[in-house]
Homo-oligomer: A and B are copies of this chain.
């Protein structure tokens, strides 16, 4: 399952056109006082492993660095550009294709990466039309989140180190969460943030967008299992089409 722990003598025979290869992508980014900088990478890795179990796929080593423009000024954040991330993904994807893979799932734990993932997938699609590529960011999440959240949503798209993300961490990686330090910090995000360059320091000092104290493992479970089922469903369908 762990691709990188395979050896060269055996891996060749294991890769077929219906093989699924899964790559976690995260970030090093401020996540408040109760979550580590690598929260998004941990989430992506755990999701990728769970997904790999479901679909008998390979898991690749994570890309641990992401596009962190909005929070790059916060202590601990490390940011790379969309352009570089796109190049990196296109080259990895090209290698995977040459190795025989025809189904590649990028499991993303950091919203800021999503643009680069989509662009890289399109570039590869144009080069290799028979290469099925997914860029997953908690598919199906929106609907269930609306049902389970106790606090109001602050923004139509952003969620960060809050009730939601902390819940997911509690379910997937409880050992990295320090709930004793979880805080509630409800920023006022001006609508301008969606239409003009707006570093998050403009509206938050904590990088927590909501009430992290309301996080529970149960909420995390609902979100994660929903996303896993969606991802597994689409991957299995791609697998059936590949055969």
Contacts and interface: CB of A to CB of B under 8 A. Distances in A.
A140 B234 CA distance: 33
A144 interface: no
B37 A196 contact: no
Interface stretch (A28-36, A163-171, A215-223): A28-36
Contact of A61 (B28, B32, B142, B194): B28
A30 B99 CA distance: 12
A207 interface: yes
Nearest to A75: B12
Given A36-B5, A176-B5, A195-B135, A99 B77 contact: yes
Interface in A188-243: 191-192, 194-197, 206-207, 230, 234
Interface of A: 3-12, 15, 28, 30-38, 41, 60-65, 69, 72, 74-84, 87-88, 91-92, 95-96, 98-99, 115, 118-119, 121-122, 124-125, 132-137, 139-140, 142, 156, 176, 178, 181, 191-192, 194-197, 206-207, 230, 234
